[in-house]
Amino acid sequence: MAFSNVGSDVEVVDYDGVMASEIIEVWRLSFDKALGLQQRLDSAEGQLAYLENVLAKENEILVLLEQNISRVLGFMALGPDTIEQLYLHPDYLGKGYGRQLVDIAKARSSGELSLHTFQANLSAQKFYLAMGFIEVSRSCADLESNPWARSRSQLKDILYRWRT
């Protein structure tokens, strides 16, 4: 069921499990490009299990679809007052779709949102700052929960917060 038009041929819809494989493809492509990964240590199957068994059960997932061919262009996983994941296909960056997804998250929040992004993801940092988020702290995610990483240095992250 569509609930938000973001463009003439693009809409935001609620997640449906039939979209899972396509979401994983977009997620991996976007993530790898943003972090400059050449080779991953994790499997798409493991990420699919994470999507289905953790993200989809603990969060609301919104999917950006190209209407005429039902192609997944991106997705956002929302927890209570958190953006857990937000990824767009690299070909659709800079077209306002990320802004539209964050605006939806802001509207559904209690007036505060937090999120993490990796320090290596400079474009995400610039985007979130432009969306009114402020840096709260820097830390390092754990290696065990990030099987794609080769070292802890890849896991340096930033906590951002937005308030009305």
Note the pLDDT tens digit of each residue in 90-121.
Answer: 999 999 999 999 999 999 999 999 999 999 99
Per-residue pLDDT averaged across 17-25, rounded? 96
Q: How confident is the model at residue 148 (pLDDT cuts 50, 70, 90)?
A: confident
Task: Find out whether 82 and 113 touch, Cβ atoms under 8 Å.
Answer: yes
- The residue with greater pLDDT, 146 or 48, is 48
pLDDT reading at 1 higher than 60 = no
Domain coordinates of the chain in residue numbers? 2-163
Q: Work out the number of other CB atoms within 10 angstroms of the CB of residue 68.
A: 9
Those residues whose C-beta lies under 8 Å from the C-beta of residue 46, and which sit 6 or more positions away, are 147
**CATH (residue range 2-163):** 3.40.630.30
**pTM tops 0.75:** yes
Task: Find out whether 71 and 29 touch, Cβ atoms under 8 Å.
Answer: no
